């Protein structure tokens, strides 16, 4: 997986993961990469420093990991305080984005019918008038999404809910 720092034409910075560089190019060209703040699909890769793994450290532990382990040992030996767990600090934008994604999922589940893996088939039936028009949601493969896009079906890929995996 490749993590790209991205920027939209309105100057909003954000990050996203892609299986390959070609995958990013294809998704961006087809309008599948959008800014989470303004929904602009005019997105470019921003300059970012490479993440290089160091090989000169061998099996040495990072100092903060050693400190956490030392605190855990001291708490096991009679202290009532628990060892601190590693955490990441999120900024206001990240917190707001998580809330927006959670609200979007709540809205979709409350107002649309879950059709599961039949999403592509059902969306096509609705698009061609073979089934009643109604909001639906479910799962679709990348090939299904391409086919729906080529057929002119309006759909929106939903981002994963925070805390439900990678």
Residues 150 and 96 in one domain: yes
Query: Which range marks the domain in which residue 110 is found?
Result: 92-154
Position 56 scores a pLDDT of: 63
* 105 within a domain of the structure (yes/no): yes
- Any domain includes 59: no
The reported pTM is 0.45
Is residue 96 domain-shared with residue 150, that is, in the same domain?
yes
Three-state DSSP at 166 gives coil
The answer on 96 and 45 residing in a single domain is no
- SS3 of the chain: helix, strand, coil, percent, to 5: 35, 15, 50
Domain membership flag for residue 136: yes
Q: Cβ neighbours of residue 155 under 8 Å, at least 6 residues apart?
A: 123, 140, 145, 148, 149
Q: Is residue 81 part of a domain?
A: no
Q: State the pLDDT at residue 78.
A: 47
Residue 72 covered by a domain: no
Question: What does the pLDDT profile of the chain (166 residues) look like in tens digits?
Answer: 788 889 988 889 888 888 888 888 889 888 889 988 898 999 898 876 666 666 665 555 454 444 444 444 444 444 445 556 555 567 788 788 888 888 888 899 899 999 999 999 999 999 999 999 999 999 999 999 999 999 999 988 888 776 665 4
Q: Residues near 17 by Cβ (< 8 Å), separated by ≥ 6?
A: 1, 2, 3, 4, 166
Let me know if residue 76 belongs to a domain. Answer: no
| Structural domain total, the chain | 2
Residue 132 lies in a domain: yes
CA 155 – CA 61 distance, rounded (Å): 47
Q: Is residue 117 part of a domain?
A: yes
The pLDDT of residue 66: 47
21 and 11 Cβ atoms separated by less than 8 Å: no
């Amino acid at each position: 997986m490749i993590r790209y720092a991205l920027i939209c034409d309105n100057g909003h910075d954000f990050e996203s993961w892609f299986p390959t560089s070609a995958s990013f190019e294809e998704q961006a060209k087809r309008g599948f990469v959008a800014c989470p703040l303004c929904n602009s699909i005019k997105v470019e890769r921003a300059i970012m420093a490479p993440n290089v793994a160091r090989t000169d450290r061998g099996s040495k532990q990072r100092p903060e990991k050693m400190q956490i382990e030392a605190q855990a040992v001291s708490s096991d030996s009679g202290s009532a305080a628990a060892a601190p767990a590693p955490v990441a600090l999120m900024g206001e934008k990240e917190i707001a984005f998580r809330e927006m994604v959670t609200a979007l999922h709540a809205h979709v589940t409350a107002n649309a019918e879950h059709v599961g893996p039949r999403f592509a088939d059902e969306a096509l039936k609705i698009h061609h008038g073979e089934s009643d028009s109604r909001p639906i949601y479910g799962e679709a493969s990348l090939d299904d999404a391409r086919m729906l896009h080529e057929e002119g079906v309006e759909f929106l890929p939903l981002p994963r809910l925070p805390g439900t995996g990678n």
